[in-house]
Amino acid sequence: MFEVVRLTLTLAAVTTVLLLLVATPLAWWLARSPSWWKEVVAAVTSLPLVLPPTVLGFYLLVALGPDSPLMAPLHVFGVRTLAFTFTGLVIGSIFYSMPFAVQPLRTAFEAVGREPMEAAATLRASPLDAFFTVAVPLARRGFLSAAVLVFAHTIGEFGVVLMIGGGVPGRTEVVSIRIYQLVEALQYGQAHALAAGLAAFAFISLLVLFLIDRRFSRLGA
């Protein structure tokens, strides 16, 4: 049981860090670009909100499988598939949790506005310097919300991780899959303990989000 919890927490932590790195420039572009194409990109990144997890998981399974053209460049390194691996779980989790990072960050960057960036430019700050010294601190509320949402959402994943990971013990078996397996085996006591733990974690995550929102609202951020 400890190994399952450890793997789940590791998956959530790795996914959160990588997704923030990926989502930050994407959300910045969505918040600042005048191009109408940005709404097309926004719609694509938001697809996991409406797609059944099994649909997304199926296409990721195909994309990361040994016959996928995307995997062909890795064949020379002896890697034929990323399905049923921890790396595959991370990739699947990044796609599945993408909107929970991009949307809070986009909203936060839009709230920053152009005036602070223009003021930084008049002080001869480069765009990169202005981004890290002005935009990021002003958007910290969005970063905190995105981190909490992604971490909590990854903890509770089921459909995608089942399709792409298969629940291999010690490699891809996370808490949600273990609960499903325990129910199938009619081991309701253990299933209840894990399910109650996830329910408590979900409540705490939402409480943290509300407290973050309340604190920043008081600060006027």
CA distances from 3 to 7, 8, 45, 205 (A): 6, 9, 32, 22
What is residue 217's predicted lDDT score, i.e. its pLDDT?
A: 66
What is residue 166's predicted lDDT score, i.e. its pLDDT?
A: 83
**Among 84, 83, 86, 85, CA closest to 64:** 83
What is residue 63's predicted lDDT score, i.e. its pLDDT?
A: 92
Enumerate residue ranges in the chain where pLDDT < 50.
none
Tens-place pLDDT, residues 48-66: 999 889 899 999 999 998 8
What is residue 219's predicted lDDT score, i.e. its pLDDT?
A: 58
Residue recorded with tokens 């397996």: 181
Identify the structural domains of the chain with CATH numbers, from first to last.
Answer: 2-219 (1.10.3720.10)
